[in-house]
Amino acid sequence: MNRLFFVACLVVAACLPRAAAAQGQPTMYGPSIVADQAKTVAAAAIAEAKKNQWTMAIAIVDTAGDLVYFERMNDTQVGSVDIAQAKARSAARFKRPTKAFQDALAAGGEGWRILSLEGAVAVEGGLPLMSGGKIVGAIGASGGTSQQDGVTAAAGVAVLK
């Protein structure tokens, strides 16, 4: 009986990591993005904005949400400087796209709790940056509509994959 119990415990223990991943457990942080990588990510985002004739501010932050690289295109509204950084910081610290907060807030009901989360930005355009299956930082884009900001940030994310 003890041997059967031991084997059953081993089976359960072996399955727990897969079960946690399947249930959407938070992704782990990895080593923070470095300046050269951040510049590459930002360049891809800027290229996407230029292709679509959008003016954007792009912020790349490390895993703590601290700024690693920033670029503002000519004629980008001044308010986007702070917003891009806030979106990136939110995505890094909460380990999720800022659109997740936007969608939760738009759904109403319990989604209103987002308003009480300090530092959570409920506007599309902030995305975690992943490398080796771990979060290494985040990108924030601001200057267009929320959807345009999201498309621009996604172009930056794509270069790390």
Q: Express each pLDDT in 67-93 by its tens digit.
A: 999 999 999 999 999 999 999 999 999
Q: Give the model's pLDDT for residue 20.
A: 36
- Walk along the chain (161 residues) and give the pLDDT tens digit of each residue: 444 333 333 333 333 333 334 445 568 999 999 999 999 999 999 999 999 999 999 999 999 999 999 999 999 999 999 999 999 999 999 999 999 999 999 999 999 999 999 999 999 999 999 999 999 999 999 999 999 999 999 999 999 87
Q: Give the model's pLDDT for residue 161.
A: 73
Rounded CA-CA distance 17/117 in Å is 28
Q: What is the DSSP string of 28-82?
A: PB-SPPPHHHHHHHHHHHHHHHHHTT---EEEEE-TTS-EEEEEE-TT--THHHH
Looking at 3.30.230.10, 3.90.1150.10, 3.30.450.150, 3.30.390.50, the CATH number of the domain 27-158 comes to 3.30.450.150
Q: By three-state DSSP, how is residue 98 classified?
A: helix
Contacts of 113 (CB under 8 A, 6+ apart): none
Q: Give the model's pLDDT for residue 26.
A: 65
CB 56 within 8 A of CB 144: yes
Give CA separation, 136 vs 83, 93, 119, in Å. 20, 11, 19
**What would the two tokens of residue 45 be?**
């985002």
Q: Give the model's pLDDT for residue 63.
A: 98
Q: Express each pLDDT in 19-28 by its tens digit.
A: 334 445 568 9
